A and B are shown apart, each in its own frame.
Chain A
Amino acid sequence: MQIEEIHKLLDRFYKGETSLDEEKRLSDFFRQEIVPTSLEEDSRVFLSFYDQNVPIPSDLEQRISALIDSFDDDRKMKSEKSKVRRLLSPFLVVAASVLLVFGIRFLVQYDSPQPVLMADTYQNPNDAYRATMHALQLFSDNFEKGMQPIEKAAVHVEKTQKIIHQTIYPKQ
């Protein structure tokens, strides 16, 4: 096979334009003939693609499945963690809300002055008594002012009812 042809085929091979047949020819060439030094580099690259005798480690399958298993384990651990988190989270949320609310309440109470019990104005029960009676009198005066018209009205209503009653059921 002409070296030039090989060069052409290689060019096309690198461009990805070779057919399977042409690739077979290239592979045959690199395998069987003594490769000229100018093509040594290409030979190594080409053969690395087509060499069927790449040793496969005997435990490859085992290693792959072990790797896959380890992925699975990882995921399991993660899901277990998230399960724990899912179980924990409601309590965490509640605890956080309680803390927050009581915190706010504490702040509100802290801000507003503590309710002070109103102090008695009088230390002497007699004075207090007099003031109370005065207040009750004032209250009653005003209350009665409101009640009097009602009572008067009630008297009128009663009178009117009597008249109506007498008119409807005259004494025989």
Chain B
Amino acid sequence: MRKLLIALLFVVFTANLSAQKNPFEQFTEMDGVTSVYISKNMLSLFPKNAKNMNYGGIDVGNFLHKLSSILILTTEDKNIGKRMVSLANNQIKSGNYELLMRVKSDDDDNVNFFMKGKPESIRELIMIVDGSDDESVILQFLGDFTLQDIQKMTEGFSKD
């Protein structure tokens, strides 16, 4: 009986979790944070195989069509940026994300890449730029893509 009850509770509350909204949606409400959200519908309106989708010989559209949404959060305010980044890091800690890469650039920007899922099936990719002096950015890609898709895409952009 108790097992049944526990199972029921589990089902109900995980169902509740899955119905939860994007954990980063709360940041769109933050004062001083500029947010850009691009839905799957909007992504599908992008011209397929257009000339300008080709970066460094790589068709970026291929990657875009594997995404279900893009969320971009930016702020130029130092304090707001700090708060946004620390809140995002909390979200990452509690959200079972995996650190993909950590980059510390020459201009003292800390950039962390996190992912959810397996390398051959990434469901969520997050980039958090902790700009100590300038812009802080959170970039979130939702969808189903591979680490290779990302590598190809970034190669294309860096060649361009």
Chain A contact residues, CB within 8 Å of chain B: 90, 93-94, 97-98, 101-102, 104-105, 108-109, 115-116, 118-122, 125, 128-129, 131-133, 135-147
Asked if residues A118 and B25 are in contact (CB atoms below 8 Å), the reply is yes
Q: Which of A93, A94, A97, A139 contacts B139 (CB 8 A)?
A: A139
Asked if residues A140 and B36 are in contact (CB atoms below 8 Å), the reply is no
List residues of B (1-59) whose CB comes within 8 Å of A's CBs.
Answer: 1, 4-5, 8-9, 12-13, 15-16, 19-22, 25, 28, 35-39, 41-43, 45-47
A101 touching B19 in the complex, CB below 8 Å, given contacts A125-B46, A142-B129: no
Asked if residues B154 and A139 are in contact (CB atoms below 8 Å), the reply is yes
Central interface residue in B39, B71, B102, by most chain A CB within 10 Å: B39
- Min distance, Cβ A141 to any Cβ of chain B, angstroms: 7
Give the top 3 A-B pairs by smallest Cβ distance, nearest first. A140-B157, A146-B103, A115-B21
How far is it, in angstroms, between the C-alpha of A129 and the C-alpha of B61 when the chains are bound?
11
Asked if residues B150 and A143 are in contact (CB atoms below 8 Å), the reply is yes
Contact count A vs B, C-beta below 8 Å: 113
Which residues of A have CB within 8 Å of B101? 143, 146
Which residues of B have CB within 8 Å of A94? 1, 4
How far is it, in angstroms, between the C-alpha of A81 and the C-alpha of B111 when the chains are bound?
71
- Min distance, Cβ B159 to any Cβ of chain A, angstroms: 10
B84 in contact (CB, < 8 A): no
Q: Which of A90, A135, A141 contacts B36 (CB 8 A)?
A: A135
A98 touching B8 in the complex, CB below 8 Å, given contacts A105-B16, A115-B19, A125-B42: yes
B85 in contact (CB, < 8 A): no
Q: Which of B8, B38, B60 contacts A101 (CB 8 A)?
A: B8
